[in-house]
Every structure is written in C-alpha cells, then in structure tokens.
Amino acid sequence: MRLNMKKFSLLSAAAAGAVYSACTLFVILWPGFSTKLMGWLFHLSSPEAVFGTMRVTATGYIGGLLEVVVYMYVMAWIFAWVFNRTVKHQ
C-alpha cells in the first residue's frame, strides 16, 4: 500500500493545526494550570521562573499556527516519500 503524499500531508497538517488550536484554547482558559503542566512535562520545580506568565495574542497564535501547519506538512510529506520508497510496488 502506498500513501497519497498530498492527502497524507494535508491531513497531517490539518490535524496538527487542530491540536495546536485546542492547546491554545486550553492555555487561554487555564493559564496557571497550563504552566504547571509544562513544568511537569519538563521536570521543573518552578516553571513560572522559566515560562513566566503565559499570554496568548492573536499574532502569536496565527504565527504559531502557520509554523505548525507548514512544519507538519513538510515532515508528513517526507515521511510519505520515505514510506512509499520502502514498500513494494503493486
């Protein structure tokens, strides 16, 4: 089975954008808890010292969303290309 590189890349990028948007909404709704979760993730004793106060801006959200979507599209395209080169042609 071969992957359709364009469809796989587009769907991967869309999924990453949706997860990024959900994460942003989580940070907007619960900024203190978000900081605590990041601290747990990186094994920090005082995450506030590293992350400071979290503030989401429209510019930051849109810029981050574009980055996530573009990076995921490229990485998914590379993955599909490598995958298709390793599977047997049918």
Q: ∠85-86-90 over CA atoms, to 5°? A: 80
DSSP-assigned letter for residue 5: H
27 vs 35: CA distance, rounded Å: 8
pLDDT value of position 36: 86
Domain ranges in the chain are 5-85
pLDDT tens string 16-51? 999 999 999 999 999 888 888 888 888 888 877 777
Tokens of 6: 């364009």
Report in angstroms the alpha-carbon separations of 72 from 9, 26, 36, 63. Answer: 7, 21, 27, 14
